[in-house]
Structure formats: C-alpha cells, structure tokens
Structure 1
C-alpha cells in the first residue's frame, strides 16, 4: 500500500528537533502546543517508530528519529524549492549574507547547501567578517542578512542562539598561578576579547596578550600550539583542546548570536533564508536555543 507523508507533520517535527521544545516549535509553526504534540503522535504512527524522547526539560530525536530527520529536511527543502521555482516564480536576485567566523565551517556548509538548492538561479555572496563590519555593510545595503554577536545597533535584529563562553587552551598547557595569564585573542573590537579582559580584571588575575589574530584559524592554531588561553563558545573545542578549570573564578558572560537584517524593503526570498539560518544555527546546540 502506498502511503504519503504529511509535510505539515514533518515541518513541525523539524522545528521540535531544532528548538528542543514542543512549546517553542508550536510558536514557530503557528500552532498550539497540544496541536504540535498531536502532530508528533500522528507522525510517529505514520512511520511506525518513536521519533522523540525527553531528556530532562528538553526534547530531542531518538536515534531513529535523528536518521529520519536528515531525509525529512531534504524532503522539506525539495518542497520549498518546487514552490519557489514553479509556483511563486524563480528567484534570481542576489542573496548577500554575512557571518562571524564562530558560526563554524560545518554549519556554514549546511546553510549554503540548502540555499543553493532552494535558489539555484540566485547568485549568493558571503562575507565572513566581524560583527561591526557586517553592521556597517547592512546600513550601506551591501548585505541583506547577517549572523553576528550582540552589538548596540538600530538595525532590525532577533536572538538566534545563546551559548556559554568558555576558557579554552591546549590540553598540555599548565598555567602558573603566580604568572600573568597568557591570552590569545582576536584584534579589537571583539566581544570575546572584551569579556576575557573584564573577567580577569574582576577576578584580580594579571594577564598579558600573548598572541592576536584577525582570523579564527590563526587564533585556534596559536591556542593548539600552547601559546595561551582564549575565550570562545564550546563549539570551538577540538580533541587537542580543553576547557581551562584554573580560570573558573573568572566568570564569563553568555555569547549571543543575533540575526541582523538591513532596513527597508526586503526581497521575498529572505523569509526562507532567515528560516534556514535559524534552523541550522540552532541545530548545532538545540539545548541552548532560544525558547
């Protein structure tokens, strides 16, 4: 017997998986919490296996649900691509996007893959730079959408993700409590640089700037070589790096990723672009996603 999957159920399932919450997913898809819960029951019945499991206060896909989710995303993208090209008309206007380096290579790769599939005729331009530079480009209408850190700005913005900042160093590095903390930091201006210096000053720990770089690969290369300690999000951790417990008294603030858009009229495709950015960035660490 031929069965057809309900795309509305799949879209709600993807939202739950991305946000880690039935209530947050309900707000995103414009339904009540009870309606989304019923949708998840109907989808599980349709596929014949459990899709979600509760872990504390969060909801996450089961192992089979996670495997199903990858194909479900492709199905949703194909649906959206067909609508874009054949129903709403092909979109061929340039898409100009900006990202801070901390978004990460894998996340950026997934974003660009999905956008290229949804808008095959649209030239895509990407700038990877500082939040300050991206905000200037948005004001000058040289970018349409940007993902950056929280910054004082009059531009339209929404909170995408909140993560903890952590002290990171090479596993073999041992700090001398009597010596200044060697810092490996981005050049000014940088929110992590500001947070690191403020935290050490508040804790009364002396420090010195051991290395600066304008690029994240250069920064992490210096950290991996044992030149000092940096401050980034947990997604910057690698097998050769570790969180520095010796600096636990130097408390750090949370790191917030915001979605900034340029003022004025926006191309119709940007709603789809913003959905992809939200889904992929929150997918990386759903437990930290904004409810």
Structure 2
C-alpha cells in the first residue's frame, strides 16, 4: 500500500508528459535517461498501472496516466507553494513578465495562477507586446523574463516550443484562383507576415494586403469576417475557421516560442518562475516540444 508519494517520481513524470520524451525530461530534472526510465517503472509499479505508452518516436501518458497527471501537478504545485511560502514568505520584489499575443489567454492564466500561488506577496506586471519590444525591455531591465518568437539577440534564450505555421481563413471564404490572395496580417515586423509573403512570392501567386492590425484579436476578427487569409499557428483555429491547403505554396516554416531572460545570475524566485513558464507553454503541445 502506498503511504507517501515520492515527489521526485512525480516531477520526472510531469516532465516526461510535458516534453513527450524521456531523454528531454532527464535533462530537465538533472538525471540520466536510464534513471528516469527506472523512475517511470517504479511509479507504474506503485500505482498498479502503466503511466506512459509509446506514440511514434515519443511517449505520452496512458489514459489512466493522463488522469493521474493532473493530480501529480497539484501535488507538486502544493509542495512548491508551501516551500516558497516559507522560504520566500517575505519575497515581495516585483515579477515582470512579457508575452507575445500568440501565447494565448488560457496559457497566461495558468501561468499567473501558479506564479501568484508561489509568490503571494510579489506584485506581478505583465506586458503583452511584440518580441522586439520585449527584448528591448529585458535589456534595460524593465522585464525579468519574456516569451516571444525566435530573434537574434545576445540575451540568454531557451527554445520552448516549435509549432507549424498554417494558412487560416473563414470556413465560408471562397478564393478566386485568378485574383490576388487577400492577406490579413500583423504590421511589420512579423514572422508570420514575412512567411506569408515569401511563400506566395516563391509560388508566383499574386497577393494583396487586405487588412493589417497590431492586435491578434483584431486580426482574427478580420479573418472570421472573411476579409482574407492569414498565417498563424494551429492554436489560432476556432470553430468558424479552417486551414487552407490549396494556395499552391510549399510548406510554411515553423513558429518557435523562446524564453528570454536577463544576463547574469538568476535569483531562486526567477528560476522557479522560469520553470513554470517552461512547463505551461510546453504543456500545450508536448509532442512538438523541443527535445
């Protein structure tokens, strides 16, 4: 009979589930691949059912392992919250975070719930803006950590997640093959804008910019209204939108989410916040996470 869970087993299990890879999880938790494999065998033996199964080249939780995963997260969060409350009970320094809009409201909400629980006395500031704007704020120490798209910089950077870019339009939009493709785009600079224009140009397909906006909700509202086609990751899809596969272009590049931080030593608090950011963003699409 299980009397106490080994939190190290749970932490390794969550890492494997998030990353879809035992080797990647081993690097995150600072153990060897064989040690993490043994941990997963031990956890399955303790619970009485397998927690992982193979899928393609990676691993995913089994149905029962997936149900247990949420409980494992709660146990680890409670453990970390209690520790941080007592180790950093007086920690009240501001935590300043930046995100690109594509991270998504749901992911940001989960991140803020966990950060606020770990550091209840710390004022939290969030800026949602472009990657370039965030990098500038990190460099002048107006932000502590930022999640944006890949960009050349001397700041410490960790690739969190790669997602395929796709063409997206309203389900009701009908494109005239003889007419220029109407594009709905962010203002420059934007990796999705550049990818869309480059792909159409390489395919010899005409296009026109039908709508621009600095706001992701504004952009997606225009797509939903049928003003044109845009390029985003699949996470932007809604019930009224669909992927467009007949524009005659080659595959679009991937979108990479990158965690940027300030140069120099990390405080223990920022290390914990960084861990939360990595886990929650990679949790969206664990099999496509960077190994």
TM-score range, shorter chain: over 0.9
Q: What is the distance in 2 between the residues matched to 1:192 and 1:282?
A: 21
Deviation at 1:247, TM superposition (A): 2.0
Runs of 4+ aligned residues of structure 1 deviating over 6 Å after TM superposition are: none
Deviation at 1:264, TM superposition (A): 3.3
For 1:209, the equivalent position in structure 2 comes to 209
Q: Does the CA contact (< 8 Å) of 1:84 and 1:90 recur in 2?
A: no
Q: Does the CA contact (< 8 Å) of 1:212 and 1:219 recur in 2?
A: yes
For 1:53, the equivalent position in structure 2 comes to 53
Alpha carbons of 1:16 and 1:80: their partners in 2 closer, same or farther (altered >3 Å)? same
For 1:133, the equivalent position in structure 2 comes to 133
Q: What is the distance in 2 between the residues matched to 1:93 and 1:21?
A: 35
Q: What is the distance in 2 between the residues matched to 1:72 and 1:2?
A: 15
For 1:228, the equivalent position in structure 2 comes to 228
Q: What is the distance in 1 between the residues matched to 2:36 and 2:268?
A: 27
For 1:170, the equivalent position in structure 2 comes to 170
For 1:199, the equivalent position in structure 2 comes to 199
Deviation at 1:72, TM superposition (A): 0.9
For 2:74, the equivalent position in structure 1 comes to 74
1:31-110 aligned within 5 A: 31-87=31-87, 89-110=89-110
Residues 130-180 of structure 1: per-residue CA shift (max 9 Å, x gap): 101101111111000000001121211111111111110111112111100
Q: What is the distance in 1 between the residues matched to 2:117 and 2:248?
A: 44
Q: What is the distance in 1 between the residues matched to 2:267 and 2:67?
A: 34
Q: What is the distance in 2 between the residues matched to 1:49 and 1:265?
A: 42
Deviation at 1:91, TM superposition (A): 2.2
For 1:161, the equivalent position in structure 2 comes to 161
Q: Does the CA contact (< 8 Å) of 1:162 and 1:254 recur in 2?
A: yes
Aligned-partner SS, 2:268: coil
TM-score, scaled relative to structure 1: 0.97
Q: Does the CA contact (< 8 Å) of 2:161 and 2:288 recur in 1?
A: yes
CA RMSD of aligned residues (A): 1.3
Q: What is the distance in 2 between the residues matched to 1:75 and 1:63?
A: 19
For 1:146, the equivalent position in structure 2 comes to 146
Deviation at 1:125, TM superposition (A): 0.5
For 1:112, the equivalent position in structure 2 comes to 112
Deviation at 1:89, TM superposition (A): 4.9
Alpha carbons of 1:282 and 1:248: their partners in 2 closer, same or farther (altered >3 Å)? farther
Residues 206-247 of structure 1: per-residue CA shift (max 9 Å, x gap): 100011111111111111111100000111111111110112
Residues 7-44 of structure 1: per-residue CA shift (max 9 Å, x gap): 00000000000000111111111111111111111111
Aligned-partner SS, 1:269: helix
**247-256 or 193-202, which deviates more:** 247-256
Aligned-partner SS, 2:208: strand
Deviation at 1:88, TM superposition (A): 5.3
Q: What is the distance in 1 between the residues matched to 2:201 and 2:2?
A: 66
Aligned-partner SS, 1:245: coil
Q: What is the distance in 1 between the residues matched to 2:248 and 2:120?
A: 48
Q: What is the distance in 1 between the residues matched to 2:215 and 2:66?
A: 33
Q: Does the CA contact (< 8 Å) of 2:202 and 2:249 recur in 1?
A: no
**197-206 or 10-19, which deviates more:** 197-206
Could you tell me which runs of 5 or more consecutive residues in structure 1 were left unpaired when the two chains were aligned.
none
